[in-house]
Amino acid sequence: MDEADRAMLDYAARLTLDPGGEHGSAVDELKAQGFDDRAIHDICAVTAYYAFVNRIADGLGVELEDEGG
């Protein structure tokens, strides 16, 4: 895994674990790794979307299906 991928995953993890936290340094690191504002927006949006979907599923008591269907 290269440094850009590592920075992206670190940012996503920080957003997930501390959504209300200060993430400026993580954004700065993404920019240093070559991500532009649109890419950072997309990373943030995808991370937030999955958190949203998981909260809805948990709130409704949705259970995962077995691998076999």
Task: Inform me whether the pLDDT recorded for 30 exceeds 90.
Answer: yes
Q: Judge contact between 24 and 59, C-beta under 8 A.
A: no
Mean pLDDT confidence for 6-29: 96
Q: What is the pLDDT of residue 67?
A: 77
Give, in degrees to the nearest 5, the angle at Cα 21 between 19 and 25: 115
Q: What is the pTM of this model?
A: 0.84
**pLDDT reading at 69 higher than 70:** no
% of the chain residues with pLDDT over 70: 99
CA dist 34 → 20, 28, 65 (Å)? 25, 10, 39
